[in-house]
Structure 1
């Protein structure tokens, strides 16, 4: 089997890959569906920011607990359980929209439940991948998952834009819930040994051990601190202001916004193909350079939100983001002990996500108080500077890969 598909040799990875692909395919329309479901109820960027903030705050509150649980219990079982909760919350949103009973407050409540569920899924997902394949195939495994994610991101937003504009956002949520329902039995086919950490200690002891592992690595907490700022800008500028401009500026429009998000996915797709075959020797150096490229579409969204130019900028940003995504996953999986990986990942996610509620609320307020172009241009400048300053940290700039991870296999 070629190097790019080498991870498919492993049976557990094949079943996990299938389950993950199903959920990524069916869930690729969810962000657009939720955004325009809220704006359909109340055409106010602040209402959208409230719903996104509810999800993020709930996610943050439960993340550390989710990391401890994912190091103690079978990670596939945790993911399955959370998918059941997601089916119930997403299905409830769809039912409310179908019956014209949805309110912003009800969507906020359901987003809280969905955010709590995701807080358990994310550390489990991060921790399970090294269990599914061999160290030399980790880059290919991560790239293959990113390939599916980016492929469906290309088509998902376009279909979602059309579906939301014609039939309404509820149908996209029905599709997502169906995908989660199919993925649950597929995940049951993943057979892994019991967790190395089987308990016997308190949750607070486990959290303290996870913190010690996190804080002992300067590259880890430096980049997490940077993403505290970068994610706040991303979720505010791209997640709140972007849909608001799309709905209210004819140069972009809802369908045009779908094309822009699809172009971002296309950039990710192209880069995943490259990374499936070519080893990433400096994962954090190239990753942070790639992340800095996101400043381009953010700035252009404010300067001139025309579909074609914005889509081109989003393509570049998507390619850069994938370099970071693969590089970061490799850095975590190759440098953090597997039995502590979910806990360390939960600290990573907590730090990266903690300012996102502030970002959604602040940008939701800013766009009603100030000129959107000025806000977005300033955001792009700050974003690029924060991303690039991390390269001054020696452990970020110099980090390489274990020798065995770069071994070519045919």
Structure 2
């Protein structure tokens, strides 16, 4: 149910000049996402350098990263069920508060110069737990105040901001780590979570339906699972991306740097290629503000095929300029999929069950990533790097082709706006009923 645009406390500086379809909640959520994204993407770089500055090894960096990822995967389903039981904006604000405190403590530990590996891993795990509760709640809120025919455009605009924050946050974070050190970047991230939490606290939930009492968390999880498995298009694409994401992250984080070091000129060209991918996602989101495909999942799934091209390009390998261009194209294509996917979810999933379904989607997207990245090195040793990269590309193509065999994926369409109901014609008055020529000019 759309949320009234002008209800609730006023934040006038954020409301000026918004499009007619962008409700107050959408503007607040978008602004909060950009602010938190700038901080978080900078903090991701700062965390790695904080571990290294404390005397840690590359394995220690991986350990701290895993400490964040593990609770994120473990608590996602619970986070989705909780977000469908209580007001989602409260879950989001609470999660932002947890991340604000954990990153603030992380900053203090690093700035003190006495950071221990276990402290950094523990604080990273707390941050991952907060994200596990935040992510399903956020997906259930972001389009709640947008009318149905504008959902695609709204999510595309939202993604432009989020992708821009990813690119800008990484660039700004890297520069700040080099100039002021990782501790201060972590402190900025803590402050960003505080500001984002305040903005989300201003969300108006007056139009959100009341939550009905349920039998408990386990009942909600089973109910969410039934929602997923009852829709072949949904579970097929979630299963597909459990592998597709794992393959691409392996290419991006393991094989890409190795190929760059051996054939492309080192970290600089690979960094440019990654930046091109981020720019491609922003361009894809911009494209989707105009493009409104009728068969949303068919178009989105066809756009997953180019996601195999970076692995193929590195397997050859092609020159660095071509790798950059291919990464840009892959960013466009995957963003088209992301927007069509979110439109399909908001269109087909009941609002009161959206967060728990979203949590299964998140779990499918993340669960295989640590497994794939840990096996990427041994796979390269076993069959060689080109064969491992061609295998990644082949799996993406085969799984995407398999998903196209699901009839609902090919047939699911964007709903047209309901036609306006014509008002009943009132009975004619005596003057209206008289159509004789002598009254025609009166």
TM-score normalised by structure 1 residue count: 0.87
Cα deviation, residue 92, structure 1: 3.4
> CA separation in 2, counterparts of 1:92 and 1:372?
41
Q: How far apart, CA to CA, are the structure 1 residues paired with 2:149 and 2:390? A: 42
Q: What's 1:81 paired with?
A: 94
Measure, in 2, the Cα distance between the counterparts of 1:216 and 1:352.
Answer: 19
Q: Distance in 2 between matches of 1:49 and 1:14?
A: 36
1:223 aligns with 2:237: yes
Q: How many angstroms apart in 1 are the aligned matches of 2:381 and 2:61?
A: 13
Q: Does residue 82 of structure 2 align to residue 69 of structure 1?
A: yes
* C-alpha deviation, 1:90, in angstroms: 2.5
Deviations 1:189-215 (A, max 9, x none): 111135532424211222222111111
When residues 318 and 405 of structure 1 are mapped into structure 2, their CA distance, relative to the original with a 3 A threshold, is farther
Q: Deviations over 1:218-271 (max 9, x none)?
A: 00000111111112222333234445666x568454444432222112111212
Pairing 1:227-242 to 2, within 5 Å after superposition: 227-242=241-256
Structure 1 residue 35: deviation in Å? 4.5
Per the TM alignment, residue 362 of structure 1 is displaced from its structure 2 partner at its CA by 1.7
Length-normalised TM-score, structure 2: 0.81
Native 8 Å contact 1:283 1:400 kept in 2: yes
Does residue 152 in structure 1 map to residue 179 in structure 2? no
Q: What per-residue deviation string (whole Å, max 9, x for no partner) do you get for residues 360-388 of structure 1?
A: 32225556777544433322222232223
CA contact (8 A) 1:5 1:140 kept: no
2:350 aligned residue = 337
Contact 1:73 1:198 in 2 (8 A): no
CA 1:371 to 1:51, structure 2 compared with 1: closer, same or farther past 3 Å? farther
Aligned counterpart for 1:136 among listed residues 133, 149, 152: 149
Q: Which has the larger radius of gyration?
A: 2
| Match in the other structure for 1:318 | 331
Query: Would the aligned equivalents of 2:33 and 2:162 in 1 still touch at CA under 8 Å?
Result: no
Report matched runs for 1:176-325 at 5 Å: 176-193=189-206, 195-242=209-256, 251-304=264-317, 307-325=320-338
Structure 1 residue 51 displacement after superposition: 3.4
Cα RMSD, aligned residues only: 2.9
- 1:143 is displaced (CA, Å) by 0.6
> Shift of residue 141 of structure 1?
1.5
- Tell me the distance in 2 between the aligned counterparts of 1:345 and 1:212: 13
Q: For structure 1, which segment, 102-111 or 377-386, has the greater mean C-alpha deviation from structure 2 after superposition?
A: 102-111
> Which moves more between the two structures, 115-124 or 214-223?
115-124
Distance in 1 between residues matched to 2:292 and 2:50, nearest whole Å: 42
User: What corresponds to 2:27 in structure 1?
Assistant: 14
Contact 1:160 1:258 in 2 (8 A): no
Following superposition, the deviation at residue 109 of structure 1 comes to 2.6
- Per-residue CA distance 1:57-107 (angstroms, 9 max, x = gap): 211211111111101111111111111111222233334444444455444
Distance 1:250-1:405 versus aligned 2 partners, 3 A rule: farther
Instruction: After TM superposition, give the deviation of residue 352 of structure 1 in Å.
Output: 2.5
Structure 2 residues without counterparts, runs of 5 or longer: 1-17, 421-442
**Structure-2 change in CA distance of 1:245 and 1:32 (3 Å):** farther
